[in-house]
Amino acid sequence: MKARILETLVLTITGMVVTFLFSALIAYFTENNPEIKIGSSSKIQDNQYYLPIVISTFEKGINNLTVSVPANVKKSQIKSSEPLNIKNIENNIGTENGSVFEVNKIPANKNTQLVLITNKSIDDEKIEIYSDKSKLNLQHSSEIQNPISSQIKSILINTVVYGLLIGLLTYWSDKRRDEKIKNARERTEDVQRLLDLQSKEIENLNLNSDRIKEHSEKIEKKQEKAFDEIEQKLANAEANSIKKQILLQAKLNDYRKELNFWRNTIRKILYKLPDGENKATDLFNLITKSLKTYQTNEKYIHDFESLKALSKYIEDIDKKE
C-alpha cells in the first residue's frame, strides 16, 4: 500500500512540475520582451502628418534602439512622452530620403510614446526598429490581432501539454504493469519446469506404493501453494492496474475542469461580440475538430458509476489481502 501511495504522489508531483516549468518557459521567452507598436500616419494638415510609436518595457529598459524611417526626419521632428536621449545617425547607404536615429535611456516598466512629425504619409510596414542588446516584440498597425487569438493559442498549448502528459503517464503505468505480468509468467514457467522435473523424479523412483502416494501428496500441496501464490500475484497486479486507471481518470477530470474554466472565460469574452453565442460554438467546434480532442468536450461526462464499481472491486481485494 505504501508503494502505491508513493507512486501516486510521484505521478502527481511530476505532472505539476512539468506543467509549471513549461508555462514558466513560455512566459519567460514570449511575454517578458519589450513590445513596440508602430501606428499608422495620420494627417494633421496639408503636408504635415504624425506617426505614433508606443514602446512598452517591463523588467528592463532599452538602450541602443535604432529606428529607420523611409523619410527625412530631423531630431526636432521627434516628440516623446518621457525624457529620452535621441540622436540622428548619418546614413551613407540606401535612399537619400531615409533617416536613421538612435534612442537611448528608455525607462523600464513604462509605456513610452514617440511621435514622428513628417511632411508625407509613411507606410508603417517600411519602418524598421531593432536593438542589438534586447529582443523586441514588434507589431505594426496592420498586424494588430484580436486579443482572443492569444487566448486561443494558450488554450491550444495547454491542451497539447496536458494530452502529452497524460499519454506519457499512461504509457509509463502500462509499461510497469506489463513488466509485472511478464515476471509473473516467468515465475509460472519456472514453477512448471520444476513440476516437470519432479514428475520425472517420481517416475524414476523405485518406491513402494505408500511412499509414492505420500510423495505425490507432498508435491500436490506444493503445486497448489505455488499456483495460489501466482494467482494472488496476478490479482494484485490487476488491482494495481485498475487503481492507476482510476487515478489517471480522476486527474484527467481535474484537467478537464481547468480546460472548461478557460472555455467559459473565452465564451464570456465572445458573448460581448455581436452574435457571440454562435461564434463561441463555432470556435470551440473548430478547435475540437482540428485537434480531434472530442473527449475534452465540456458535455462529455465521466462514467463515475464504472469508477465506483472498480473502486468497490479493489476494496474487496484489499480486504482479502
pLDDT at 85 over 90: no
Sorted by sequence, the CB contacts under 8 Å of residue 208 that are 6+ apart come out as none
Same domain, 63 and 104: yes
Final residue before a domain boundary, out of 93, 111, 144: 144
Same domain, 132 and 216: no
Q: What is the pTM of this model?
A: 0.41
Same domain, 165 and 42: no
Give the strand pairing for 128-131 and 65-69.
antiparallel
Condensed to tens digits (0 to 9), the pLDDT of residues 207-261 reads: 666 676 777 788 888 888 887 888 877 777 777 777 777 777 767 777 777 877 8
How does DSSP assign 68-135, residue by residue? EESS---GGGEEESS--EEEEE---SS-TT-EEEEEE-BPSSSEEEEEEEESS---GGG-EEEESSS-
How confident is the model at residue 140, as a pLDDT? 83
Domain hosting 246: range is: 2-27+148-320
Same domain, 161 and 297: yes
Helix (H, G, I), strand (E, B) or coil at 291: helix
Same domain, 162 and 201: yes
* CATH code at position 73: 2.60.40
Share of the chain above pLDDT 90, in %: 3
How confident is the model at residue 300, as a pLDDT? 47
Same domain, 190 and 285: yes
Same domain, 110 and 188: no
- The arithmetic mean of pLDDT across residues 267-290, rounded, is 80
Distance from C-alpha of 228 to C-alpha of 75, rounded to nearest angstrom: 92
Final residue before a domain boundary, out of 117, 144, 171: 144
Q: Which of 75, 53, 70 is nearest to 62 (CA)?
A: 53
Same domain, 84 and 124: yes
Instruction: Calculate ∠ Cα 282-287-290, nearest 5°.
Output: 120
pLDDT at 144 over 90: no
Highest mean pLDDT among 137-146, 241-250, 252-261, 270-279: 270-279
Condensed to tens digits (0 to 9), the pLDDT of residues 16-75 reads: 676 666 666 665 555 568 888 998 889 888 888 989 999 988 888 888 889 888 888 888
Q: How many domains does the chain have?
A: 2
Final residue before a domain boundary, out of 88, 120, 144: 144
Same domain, 248 and 99: no
Same domain, 120 and 181: no
Same domain, 157 and 302: yes
How confident is the model at residue 49, as a pLDDT? 92
How does DSSP assign 22-70, residue by residue? HHHHHHHHHSSS-EEEE---EEEETTEEEEEEEEE--SS-B-SEEEEES
Same domain, 53 and 195: no
